[in-house]
Structure formats: C-alpha cells, structure tokens
C-alpha cells in the first residue's frame, strides 16, 4: 500500500468487541477517544496474562491506551518500523530513544553539531550529570570523520537529523547507518523536517526515527506530541523503558495527531512545491544575501539529496540571510509580516518565520553558530500550504520595510 493510503487508513476501524444491549457489530470510521485511566476484564486471570505478556490488552494508561495505540500503529506503518511509542513531546521521544539505545551500550553519545539547539542543551545539561557523555560531531557529512570518531569514542548512540535545522545539511544516512552498525552504535535520527513521506530512516538502517509530532505530522499548530519509532532489535527494550519512564501521549492529542497525519502527504507535497517557488524567488532578490534550500543545484550535499530524497519532495524549510540586516532589522522584517506568522515552530498549514539567533539556537555561543553558518541575519521559513504567490507577496512587502 502506498504511503499516502497508509496515512489515511492505518490504525483506524477497530471493532469494539464488548457486549451491550445495543448492537455492537458496527465499526467506527475513525478511532474513538478513550479517556479511561484503567481497564478491567470479566476475570482477573485475563489481567494477569496481560501483565505477564502472555496476552495482549490494556491495563493502565501509563502503559497503553487504545487511541494512542491506533496512532502508534499508523506511524509504524508510515515509517516501516517494528513499533512506535507516542510521547508527550518531541524531546520526550528523543529522550526515550536515547535511554533505550544506551541501556545495554556505552553511555557515550556522538551528536551532530548541525542539529536542533535544545537537543545539544539536553545532552549537556540534563544527561551529563547522570554519567552520559556527549562528543560533538563537527560535520555530519564527513564520512571519514564519522568513522574516526566512532572508533575513537566508541559511542552507544549517534544522533543526527535527516535535514539539519536550520542550515539544511543532509548526511548520507544509509552510509552512516552502516558505520554505526559495524561499531555497535545505535543511529537515532530526528526525522521531523522530512516526515516519512520524504524519508524513512528505519529503511536506511537507523535504529530509531524520532519526530516532534507537533510539526508536520499533526500539522495544524494545535497539538504537542512526539513519536519514537524503533527497529526490531530495540522493540522489547523501548517498550520496557516506556512503561517505566511514562512519556505516553494523551488520548485527545493522539486523536488530533492521527487526524492530522491523514492529510500529511497532501500538506507536505504542497509545502514542498511552495518552498521551491519561494526559494527560487528569494535567490533572485538583491535584498537576500544567500538562500539555503535542498533543491539548490550547488547544495554541498547535492549527490546525497538526489540519492536519498524523492525529486520534488525535498523538504519545505527555506533559510535566507537578509542582506545587511542586524538583529533590529530582522525584528522589523518579522514585525512587518501580514500573513506569515512569526512563531517558534514549523510544519503548520500556515507559513511560519523563525529567527534562530533568539529561538532554536539561542543557547549556542556566537562561535558555534558561526561555525554552522547561522549568522545574525539568517531567518528560517517554514513554508505553508497557502498560495505561493501570496507568501512571496508578503515576504516582498516585509523586506521593503528594512531597506
């Protein structure tokens, strides 16, 4: 079944199965929202078998929930993984992946420098006091460097993004996965920017594919959630850690995420098309110093992009440096937008504009930002599903305010 069909049908239409005075041989067309915190059965023996993993079923909301399970089934089908844990946030999903990966491996992480700023903050501020050390990988696109650092540090996990935030670098994930496999290192991929429509990391050899469901998967700016999909080798340990850790997403949020995913392929296809048009317009505008987008023929990772990402579906994030702009001019540009929304997120139906200097990469030093190409005049656009002409017109009038 094509991924577009999986997005619509996976996880839904479970038969209720319990007796009732009314007819119970119907099947709901969408998954109901189950708000119960616990579940009981006709006899205690059934609960005993479920707790003992001899039978399948629901016992307590920290362990599982029918609505959440439906979402997990849907995402697992899209990612082609062994299973998924739906979490309360993307950071919780990443935390789950890290702890599951390191449970039986060295407590050392190799993390790409080209990554979401709070990820590095979590590794250094939250995990370090618990004995988990992190080494920064300066360039996720340098395969010889990755091989050398894997041999030198012998990490239990390597963390990367499919498309890096906000500089849009694309590492050779399949080749990195092979290096990690040879080093007994779990590859954890943040696939938020790409979505399963663009890339499925488990298929390329990753151990975990993690999403902030808040972004493209739910897609409407009304849900906070995270998704941690794992391969078969990590199924048992991830489920065990999840039961103890308790990061489970609430049933209402799971329902909304599931509903959003049904239109995710349509939205992302439109957003990718719009992003290509916006990037092309920005490149020809003299008020723009440089444009970062994955369809650029001169992109440093052109060969990897063409090999791993589908043509025309290479993401919907565009970053651009405003010529001659300082912090105050960037603020003026953002304040002048009439349709695009200045917001600290991405992947919504509406176009969002973010300033990495004050948001996603605020906690990095100026030297660290400079080494990544995150200059003080760089702005990140998450392109929405509006008319591309209207998006361009809004950016045009806002740019005119800073000249």
Q: The pTM is what?
A: 0.93
pLDDT bin (cut points 50, 70, 90) of residue 19 is low
Give SS3 for 380. strand
For residues 182 and 380, give the distance between their C-alpha atoms in angstroms, rounded to a whole number: 36
Residue 101's SS3 state is helix
Residues 6+ apart with CB under 8 A from 52: none
62 Cβ contact list (under 8 Å, min separation 6)? 243, 246, 248
- CA neighbours closer than 13 Å in the CB half-sphere of residue 153: 23
Q: For residue 356, what are the β-bridge partners?
A: none
Domain residue ranges in the chain: 3-262, 264-400
pLDDT tens-place string over residues 45-59: 988 888 888 888 888
Query: How far is residue 199's CA from residue 164's CA, in Å, rounded to a whole number?
Result: 13
pLDDT of residue 371: 72
How are strands ordered across the β-sheet holding 352-354? 288-292, 317-322, 378-382, 352-354, 341-342
User: What angle do the packed helices 264-284 and 388-400 form, to 10 degrees?
Assistant: 40
- Element containing residue 135 per DSSP (H, E): strand 133-137
In the predicted model, what is the mean pLDDT of the chain?
A: 93
* Residues 178 and 392: beta-carbon distance below 8 Å: no
Distances (CA, A) of 217 to 138, 188, 300: 29, 18, 28
Architecture of the domain delimited by 3-262 = 3-Layer(aba) Sandwich (3.40)
Cα angle 133-372-322, degrees, rounded to a multiple of 5: 145
- Rounded mean pLDDT of 335-341? 96
Q: Please write the tens of the pLDDT for every residue from 160-214.
A: 999 999 999 999 999 999 999 999 999 999 999 999 999 999 999 999 999 999 9
Q: Please confirm whether the linkage preceding 144 is cis (ω < 30° from 0).
A: no
Architecture of domain 264-400: Alpha-Beta Complex (3.90)
């Amino acid at each position: 079944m094509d991924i577009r069909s999986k997005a619509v049908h996976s996880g839904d239409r479970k038969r209720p199965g319990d007796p009732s005075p009314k007819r119970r041989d119907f099947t709901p067309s969408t998954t109901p929202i189950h708000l119960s915190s616990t579940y009981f059965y006709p006899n205690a023996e059934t609960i005993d078998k479920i707790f003992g993993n001899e039978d399948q079923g629901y016992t307590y909301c920290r362990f599982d929930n029918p609505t959440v399970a439906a979402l997990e089934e849907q995402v697992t089908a899209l990612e082609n993984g062994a299973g998924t844990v739906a979490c309360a946030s993307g950071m919780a999903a990443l935390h789950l992946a890290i702890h599951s990966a390191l449970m039986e491996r060295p407590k050392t992480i190799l993390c790409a420098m080209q990554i979401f700023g709070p990820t590095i903050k979590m590794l250094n501020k939250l995990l370090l006091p618990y004995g988990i050390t992190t080494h920064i990988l300066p360039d996720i696109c340098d395969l010889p460097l990755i091989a050398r650092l894997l041999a030198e540090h012998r990490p239990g996990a390597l963390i990367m993004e499919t498309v890096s935030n906000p500089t849009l670098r694309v590492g050779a994930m399949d080749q990195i996965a092979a290096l990690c496999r040879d080093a007994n290192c779990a590859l954890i991929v943040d696939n938020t920017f790409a979505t399963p429509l663009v890339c499925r990391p488990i298929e390329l050899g990753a151990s975990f594919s993690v999403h902030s469901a808040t972004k493209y998967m739910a897609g409407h700016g009304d849900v906070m959630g995270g998704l941690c999909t794992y391969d078969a080798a990590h199924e048992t340990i991830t489920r065990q850690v999840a039961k103890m850790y308790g990061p489970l997403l609430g049933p209402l949020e799971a329902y909304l995420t599931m509903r959003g995913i049904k239109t995710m392929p349509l939205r992302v296809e439109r957003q990718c098309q719009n992003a290509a048009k916006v990037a092309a317009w920005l490149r020809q505008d003299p008020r723009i110093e440089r444009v970062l987008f994955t369809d650029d023929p001169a992109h440093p990772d052109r060969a990897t992009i063409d090999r791993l990402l589908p043509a025309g579906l290479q993401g919907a994030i565009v970053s651009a440096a405003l010529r001659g702009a300082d912090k105050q001019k960037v603020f003026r540009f953002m304040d002048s937008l009439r349709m695009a929304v200045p917001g600290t997120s991405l992947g919504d139906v509406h176009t969002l504009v973010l300033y990495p200097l004050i948001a996603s990469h605020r906690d990095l030093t100026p030297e660290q930002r400079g080494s990544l190409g995150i200059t003080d005049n760089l702005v990140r656009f998450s392109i929405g599903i509006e008319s591309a002409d209207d998006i361009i017109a809004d950016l045009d009038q806002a740019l005119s305010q800073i000249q």
